[in-house]
Amino acid sequence: MTELLAPAEWDALRVSLIVALYSVAFSLPLAIAVAWLLARKRFWGRGILDSLVHVPLVLPPVVVGYVLLVLFGVRGPLGAFLNETFGVRLVFTTAGAALATAVMAFPLMVRAIRLSIEAIDHGLDEAARTLGAGPLDRFRTVTLPLILPGILSGGIVAFAASLGEFGAVITFASNIPGETQTLPLAIYSAIQTPGGDAAAARLATLSFALALAGLILSEILARKVRRMLGR
């Protein structure tokens, strides 16, 4: 790999993988909880929550990045609190890039997991309840194993989507080589650089291969888990 890519391109790949991994790892538990709420519970404001979850899909990514900048910038309400209280600064950092990609990929995970939850026969949950299983036990022993294909599929698709996120990352985290410059940002920089066509082509090919591999892996894992569950 190091022979095929220049050091700066290798850094872009490394940052992309780290950002995508962090964004999925930290947001997946929340995605499971939100998907379960939307699929199983009826409460006031459910439609509002559903809209808020999916709004990154219809907003321009630059707008999402700008909102994050307003909220989590060093002078923003949340960013100032984190910086002054815990010494944590998200803007223009790898963690900030992970936050931006997590916000953009979050709806993809919620949707995949929610569809899996809605496909479960409610009779299974009711049977476990009549046998004395509490809500947490029913979720752990009945719901969670049955929605595992959706969790895997949603997580991998979100990971692949995170690798390709551009607008939200460059707006909130900027384009800092070795820190926040992911593959899409490196491609953008290469295009803007005289003689950078070859580097842009290499990085674009790598991005395409990673995205395609993620989608194929998602389908393969989902099918294997379904066979294990007898579905």
Dihedral through CA 27, CA 30, CA 35, CA 40, nearest 10?
170
Other CB atoms within a 10 A radius of the CB of residue 145 amount to 12
Q: Digits of tens for pLDDT over the chain (231 positions)?
A: 446 788 889 999 999 999 999 999 999 999 999 999 998 888 888 899 999 999 999 999 999 999 999 999 999 999 999 999 999 999 999 999 999 999 999 999 999 999 988 888 777 777 877 877 777 888 888 888 888 888 988 998 899 899 999 999 999 999 999 999 999 999 999 999 898 899 999 999 999 998 888 888 877 877 777 777 665
Length of the chain: 231
Query: Both tokens of residue 26?
Result: 């930290």
pTM, full prediction? 0.89
Distance separating alpha carbons of residues 186 and 200, to the nearest angstrom: 8
| Domains along the sequence of the chain with CATH | 7-228 (1.10.3720.10)
